[in-house]
Amino acid sequence: MVLVVVERDGDGAPTAEAAEVLAAARDLAEGLGVPVGAVAVGEPGDLPGHLAKQGVARLHLLQHELLDDASPTALGEALAQLVTALRPDAVLAASAERSTEAMAWAAAVLGAPLATACTDVRPGDPWEVTRERAGGVLLEDAALDAPVRLLTLRPTGPAPRETAAADEVTVHVVVPDLDASVPRARLVDRRARAAGMTLATAPVVVAGGRGVGSAEGYAVLEELAELVGGAVGCSRVATNNGWRPHADQVGLTGTRISPDLYIACGISGATQHWVGCMNARTILAVNTDPEAPMVTRATYAVVGDVHEVLPAVVAEIRRRAGA
């Protein structure tokens, strides 16, 4: 069996990342000639219906009060118990922060290796994976030598297909044996983010780097972002200079985004930044250097200074709107 750790959204449905992992698991399981199982936390709700369309045969629902606050360590412990009971060929999870922590915890309990941030999985003797190193700056082919292969998968983009055959999903409720005497972290407060556009979800991101020159220089980026219904981002240079908060940083150590349009203003496009924006559908680069990596990788480019180009673009948008 290929077992998938399914993270759920606010409505209890699989998250977009989980849906991608389910699709990858189905391909893997088809090749191996084994079924796909799923493991999730909580009540079934509509989840079995969603999973049926994803070709899942069995859903293992973990229920325990220590799992209620999405604790990765408690989930990791529960996963390790389930793996010991089911002996799957592989366990797949999204390479998001919390699911990676849960998988690492499970791997530690099981004394097993864990391959994180995988972009390709090739069963064999031993299994091989391709994984992202340093957040995708390099790729690594690695051998994964273990009876149960624990893997987290990087999202690869295309929307997962649903299978035509919507078989019945059998649901097994599992109450893991979690030791209450083990010291644990406890969720004591959760504050929903202020409503509005976030960098991660904005359809358009207007980002600035060294070429913006100062904190005040971002005013014109904010103006443009407002006009195109987007959010403002920045490169690491801007954060290090104190021009923008770290929450605005796009890149390896900031946020990885996949907007419809990325407008990169005065950003040279070092690999560490590129891996954060390379999944944008369209990239428009504004840079004084026509040979900057961001320019040569962009869909569209304007050669010039941010503070000459952007005010003219803003004025032109306003002129057209008024016309």
Partner 1 sequence: MTGPDVLVCVKRVPAVGAEIALTADATAIDTRHLGFTIGPHEECAVEEAVRIAERTGGSAGVLTVGPPEAEEQLRYALSMGADHAVRVDAPTSDPDPEVTAAAITGALRELPPHDLVLFGAASADAGHAQVGSRVACALRRPLVGGVKGIELDGDRVRLRREAPEGVEVHEAPLPAVAAVLEGLNLPRYPTIKGRLRAKKAPIRVLDGPPVTGGLRTLRLRHRPEARAETVVLGRGAAAAPAVVEVLAELGVVH
Query: Considering only residues 98-157, where is the footprint of partner 1 by CB under 8 A?
Result: 98, 100-101, 103-105, 107-109, 112-117, 128, 132-146
3 vs 283 by CB, closer to partner 1: 283
- Region of 42 please: left (phi>0), alpha (psi -120 to 50) or beta: left
Strands 204-208 and 231-234, by their bridges, are parallel
Q: Is 2 in the site for partner 1 (CB under 8 A)?
A: no
CA dist 240 and 262 (Å) reads 21
Among 97, 125, 168, 177, binds partner 1 (CB under 8 A): 97
Question: Which residues from 73-92 bind partner 1, rule CB under 8 A?
Answer: 73, 76
Question: Which residues from 11-30 bind partner 1, rule CB under 8 A?
Answer: 15
Q: How far is the CB of 34 from partner 1 (least distance, A)?
A: 21
Q: Is 180 in the site for partner 1 (CB under 8 A)?
A: no
Q: How far is the CB of 223 from partner 1 (least distance, A)?
A: 13
Structure token pair of residue 35: 């079924």
Interaction pattern, residues 221-260, with partner 1; x per rule: CB under 8 A: ------xxxx--------xx-x--xxx-x---xx-----x
Among 190, 195, 196, 322, binds partner 1 (CB under 8 A): 190
57 vs 98 by CB, closer to partner 1: 98
Provide the residue count of the chain. Answer: 323
DSSP category for residue 163: P
DSSP labels, 200-259: TT-SEEEEE-GGG-SSGGGHHHHHHHHHTT-EEEE-HHHHHTTSS-GGGBBSTTSB----
Question: How far, in whole angstroms, is CA 130 from its chain's centroid?
Answer: 17
Among 191, 195, 216, 322, binds partner 1 (CB under 8 A): 191
Among 36, 47, 94, 302, binds partner 1 (CB under 8 A): 302
Strands 114-122 and 127-133, by their bridges, are antiparallel
- Orientation angle between helical segments 97-110 and 72-86, nearest 10 degrees: 50
1 vs 309 by CB, closer to partner 1: 309
CB 266 within 8 A of CB 286: yes
Q: Is 282 in the site for partner 1 (CB under 8 A)?
A: yes
Q: Is 68 in the site for partner 1 (CB under 8 A)?
A: no
Q: How far is the CB of 166 from partner 1 (least distance, A)?
A: 28
**Who's near 192: CB < 8 A, 6+ residues apart?**
none
